[in-house]
Amino acid sequence: MSRYSDWREGLLRGLYNVLLYLLLPLVLLRLYWRGRNEAGHRQRWGERLGYIPALPQAGCLWIHAVSVGEVRAALPLIRALRVRYPEASLLVTTTTLTGSRQVLDALNGQVHHVYAPYDLPGAVRRFLQHVQPRLTILMETELWPNLLRGCALSGVPVLLANARLSERSARGYRRVQPLTAAMLRDVTLIAAQSEADTGRFRALGAPRVRTVGNLKYDLEVPDSLLEQGRALRRELFGDRRPVWIAASTHAGEEEQILQAFMAVTARWPDLLLLLVPRHPERFAAVAGLCEQQGLSLVRRSERRACPPETAVFLGDSMGELLLFYAAADLAFVGGSLVPTGGHNVLEPALLGLPVLFGPHMFNFNEASERLLAAEAAWQVVNAEALAVAVDRLLAAPESRRGAGERGKTLVEHHRGALRAFLESIHPLLRSRFE
């Protein structure tokens, strides 16, 4: 590396740190503000600054998963690590409150959990000194300069699991190329989801990248889940109503979904919309939006069955999305009618549902393209096209079930990323935990 590159990296790192410290009061203020509707945002701030409660032992295996989606992707990996390395203490960190709740719901008592530190030099140093991880696994694209440099200086190997990098994100990283290259050199191994992701990481200067596949294909669904979904449907919705789930929706999408729903109910008046917003703090606002449209509403939190006139069932709970999928006939996956990048389309496919999604799927390009090619999913561009697609699927139950079967088969066919990842890191883990 040239002196000029070293100088540019140092300058960018310094500017980055100054910016973080300047933004910290605003970040904490935002947490406090969000705590108006959800008190959890005002709790455990010390963990975000590197002050964490005592852990039973230092030298753990640390897995960081930002939020709900990353936690779900990490669950098969975490469970496999517990089986293969039972003597290893596992620490799972998240960034968001919803991610924290997902860890506690799915793994309570099996792992330790705290919030990850903000990428401030002092916070990272305090965290690493206290935890002293033997190995760090970061889910997807968690590239934080101070965290990665802190691990490198402490001799802690860092593995980037289920790594993905869209072309849009790669363009952003190229704008700070010296700092990006330095971060990637601090990563021991990048286990990429696809060859395209591998190529983009290498183009940015990553020296150690391997394509292992997408861990989200390795999601295990218990056999009892489908029966639980059918039981929930009988209890809350009745046996005869068709059920359309619109899951992980964002602001700007619910309006389009409700517009499509009202268009479809002109032909299918018994249709029930199972609406599940992505973020809990938006539950009340989405309920208000339904009521503004004159749609009768039952909320999951009410714990009561839907009367026949109910139009919308609002899934205002945490940890039940798979159960809701299992209670539905077809699925729309949100974050895709707005430029968020989409959410996990493999979950409803694995449960045998035909899948609909919008045009913005850059976070799930490969998975969505595979489902489209298998005719297990359909992409829509707006509310009108969404209504047409839902109507078509409701009118053809055999075609709908066939699409669901094709999607389930596709997901099962592409399993194996978990095994490949474990094989890739086994020598490193064996030297530390055996």
Query: Is 70 part of the annotated catalytic residue set?
Result: yes
The Cα 384–Cα 399 span in angstroms is 21
Give the DSSP per-residue string, 90-152.
EEEEESSHHHHHHHHHHHBTTBEEEEPPPS-HHHHHHHHHHH--SEEEEESS---HHHHHHHH
For 176, list phi and psi in degrees, rounded to 5: -125, 50
254-264 and 283-292 are packed helices; what angle lies between their axes, rounded to 10 degrees? 40
On the 0-12 / 13-18 / 19+ scale of CB atoms within 10 A, 321 is buried
E-assigned strands of 164-301? Answer: 189-192, 209-211, 243-249, 272-277, 297-299
The Cα 214–Cα 233 span in angstroms is 31
The Cα 11–Cα 162 span in angstroms is 31
Q: Are 159 and 134 in contact (CB under 8 A)?
A: no
Specify which residues 163 forms β-bridges with. Answer: 192
The Cα 83–Cα 135 span in angstroms is 17
The Cα 366–Cα 157 span in angstroms is 29
The Cα 398–Cα 246 span in angstroms is 21
- Separation in Å, CA 50 to CA 118, 131, 159, 199, 205: 8, 10, 21, 34, 30
E-assigned strands of 258-351? Answer: 272-277, 297-299, 312-314, 330-333
- Separation in Å, CA 77 to CA 19, 189, 419: 35, 16, 9
Q: Determine which one of 9, 47, 70, 347 is catalytic.
A: 70
Enzyme catalytic residues: 70
